[in-house]
Structure 1
């Protein structure tokens, strides 16, 4: 009985083992088949990533030069197609070049740096499109070069999505270069020639652009880093602007009457007159200024000469014309600070904005200058100290106003009364005016206020763009009680007035003979491409 049971158990065990082995074989076979499939899919995936990377690169290029896309449907269709082909070729050459560098551990560091720079190039394109809905230009390059850490941090929330795209682009770029290094690119004559194309072709394009024709070249000096030429231009502009510090002009000054003791210019930031109750806005964002309207000259139709601070403020503070700005920066030395210095006025520059090279070049000509950290209200005690001096003074107050992000322009304990951050920033500025006007009420003082530029509303975004909406700014003059009657002109001016009129207006308040004809009469506008144009030709 035991023997029978033993054999029965043995037979069942062997049968079970055989079944298990068969199942294992089947599983092994299946596993081998599954193992091969991902290998094929991985190779395909690598090629797809490279194709997507090329498309992403060309998309960034297209976002920066949108006119090329428009030309695809016009008479210059072939030129646009050629641009795509040329930039696509240079980018593919760039990939091969870096794949060769990746083959050596020392030169791979250079490749990583080149890839980082190209990813930053893409980040600029993505940021301009997603934030400003426009291509990149020289004006934006100047703003980047003149940005300071505090300003960059305050606007960092706007770059979350572009930042994500930056890391996606960088990851795809490094992945593609590594794949090409391992599986495609070899150190032979063919790949070396391909790798050098992205360095050689720009010289050919430059020669054609300079000596043969500009056909197909557009406004670009072609390079795989397609923003490089804008930054190069911006750096040249910075050098020229800094050079004005060394050029102190001699003004033909004619004093015709005693000037006002304290001539104060307040330069606001990114304030839309459309959001001020002083100009009819349905929310009471400027309650104190509204009450002072009877003691002010208000310009109802004021426009700025440019759409960004770095262009508009130098145009407001100097006699340079928009037509001259790009090629005759030395004329910026003919500014209101130097004029005040030579007219018997002690000059002061008080700012809650961090220094920016273009504007600071003019500010540095002030005999007294101070940059102050904090909300705009911190400028009032500084002003009180300056006013104590018994002398003729010209004082510039450069405030943060409604600079993006407007939520950061309001003290934490500020009562916004249900308003959004932008409207609250305007109301906060109004409270700063209240303190300034209270300080100056019983003095021989005049205050000229204008915002450097406005902003355009697009959806829920406030944009720096070339448009009439973004140039419509507040501009008014307020008088202290002791200002002589011959200077005290109140009311509202409905005629369109460019804020460059501030320059001759300050001359009058200093008792100087002002020019009969001034640059604002032509109403020229300096756009973000650094080109002068008729204001009336701006889009709404």
Structure 2
């Protein structure tokens, strides 16, 4: 029975133990999987990690509560509530709460976040979050003297330092797995990575680095439609050898070419940034649509998604703006991106046109809600946001149907371009990243690229050409950065930043 009156040191220790027991199964699951716990060195490492975890959290909880019992309780309640939600996502989807995942969270809109709601999430929140929080609120804390506070704090810090240096032989292993360990330790995963995310975000967005001015070399009428895919992995495209026919239309399309490609990252913000930049970097260089718009190219951006870098163009239409002028069932899905597109292109008075369609077709966990019912070709499908509850067949069927719908959307883009014969045209389809569908007990995406399985970074790179005006180089492998230079080449844009080696066209 938990007492309602506790000395501050006992209170901090109790909460540290509760924090350890309630939220660190994934952490030690990873440790036991990657350490030989039957050896003496492995056993010592595990024991030391347990002790360091307990002492570190004890020290922080003790410090907060001593400085202010009210503020300390508030922070502890907040910690336990966030921990419960974080552990739900770790256990359910196999995510790691690192800096990139924090970026995903802050770049998620209401529509996406609401799709994760489930009874299991509510149970996690109540049992692992609300119930411990009620005890924290109810308990009366007996404060200690400053002398005891200083002594306890000093001993805690000294003990942690001794343990850290005693494990010098394991530093290499800890450093190698630091991202995963840090992303699974509660509350350190988000309490450290949230400030890091905002610090790096502020540094990136201080000022967009402008690229050297470009010039248009000719007056030939040219269009590039760049379709940015969402969570599309190449292995589920029949164009890439997948045994199920997920590309019934594109497989019958002439002048269509596929390339093996990999993404720069496993989450949308970094993946889209990489597609639109001339080089993969942590800096915020001027992105493709902004650059071409500034240099007198007609640029059209249509999106049902989010997470792109700041867009500075005239013709920007999001999902709500597109739906306002659209009627019918298909307006609720990514086909809304094509509503009035051909007319908008033909209304342009410029010879060079770049259209970017940012889709959301294959984003989980609600794959079965990403396409109209007539595209439910493969059955049965997973209709739950708790993906681990679905069978592998149901989950993959639902995801495969999103690829069938993508196939339909791309074929419609191609048909529109075929009708505009006065333009030389091409369509590029490149996904922002891949997707895990239960392989290695992982779901969706967001694992750090250095640790991610191939399902999360092997992406489709599909190119269609209207005529023999241009041909393609025999590239064995492409990256997302090939897009920038290839678009410049096709549209006849001359720029000091252009890199011929990153261009896919002859």
Say whether the fold is shared (TM-score over 0.5).
yes
User: Residue 450 in 1 paired to residue 433 in 2?
Assistant: no
Please tell me whether the aligned partners of residues 246 and 403 of structure 2 are also in contact (alpha carbons under 8 angstroms).
yes
Is 1:131 the counterpart of 2:87? The answer is: no
Matched, 1:427 2:409: no
Contact 2:16–2:61 (CA<8 Å) still a contact in 1?
Answer: no
1:186 aligns with 2:142: yes
CA contact (8 A) 2:342 2:416 kept: yes
Q: Which of these two proteins has the greater Rg computed from alpha carbons?
A: 1
Asked if the contact 1:266/1:448 (under 8 Å) is kept, the reply is yes
Corresponding residue number in structure 2 for 1:20:
none
Q: How does 1:186-225 map to 2 (within 5 A)?
A: 186-189=142-145, 193=149, 197=153, 219=178, 225=188
- In structure 2, how many angstroms separate the alpha carbons of the residues matched to 1:265 and 1:287? 21
1:503 to 467, 484, 496: 484
Please give the secondary structure, in 1, of the residue aligned with 2:459: coil
Distance in structure 2 (CA, Å) of the matches to 1:387 and 1:155: 37
Tell me which of 483, 499, 502 is aligned to 1:515: 499
CA distance in 2, matches of 1:99, 1:58: 21
Output aligned runs, 1:408-487, within 5 Å.
Answer: 408-412=369-373, 414-416=375-377, 418=379, 420-443=397-420, 444=423, 445-458=425-438, 462-464=443-445, 465=447, 466-480=452-466, 483=467, 485-487=468-470
Shift of the 244–190 alpha-carbon distance from structure 1 to 2, 3 Å rule, reads closer
Instruction: Flag the structure with more relative contact order, 1 or 2, with Cα contacts below 8 A and sequence separation at least 6.
Output: 2
CA distance in 2, matches of 1:195, 1:350: 61
How many residue pairs align between the two structures?
Answer: 441
CA shift at 1:312, angstroms?
A: 1.4
Tell me the TM-score normalised to structure 2 length.
0.74
Match of 1:396 in 2: 356
For 1:494 and 1:517, the matched residues in 2 are separated by 10
Instruction: Find 2:290's aligned residue among 316, 321, 338.
Output: 338
If the length of structure 1 is used for normalisation, what is the TM-score?
A: 0.70
Mind listing any 5+ residue stretches in structure 1 that lack a counterpart?
1-40, 521-540
The residue aligned with 1:281 is 242
Over aligned residues, Cα RMSD in angstroms? 4.1
Whether contact under 8 Å (2:262, 2:478) holds in the other structure is yes
CA distance in 2, matches of 1:264, 1:195: 66
Distance in 2 (alpha carbons) for counterparts of 1:120 and 1:338: 38
CA shift for structure 1 position 489: 4.2
Trace 1:49-448 onto structure 2 (pairs within 5 A).
Answer: 54=17, 56-57=19-20, 60-61=23-24, 63=26, 70=34, 73=37, 75=41, 81-92=47-58, 108=70, 111-132=73-94, 134-157=95-118, 160-177=119-136, 180-181=139-140, 185-189=141-145, 193=149, 197=153, 219=178, 225-245=188-208, 247-251=209-213, 253=214, 261-292=222-253, 294-299=254-259, 301-321=260-280, 324-325=281-282, 329-330=283-284, 332-333=285-286, 335-353=287-305, 355-356=306-307, 359-361=308-310, 364-373=311-320, 374-388=332-346, 389-391=348-350, 392-404=352-364, 405-412=366-373, 414-416=375-377, 418=379, 420-443=397-420, 444=423, 445-448=425-428
CA distance, structure 2, for counterparts of residue 193 and residue 519 of structure 1: 64
* Deviation readout 1:325-382 (Å, 9 max, x if unpaired): 2xxx23x22x2223322443111211011x33xx142xx1233211114310111124
Shift of 1:163: 4.1
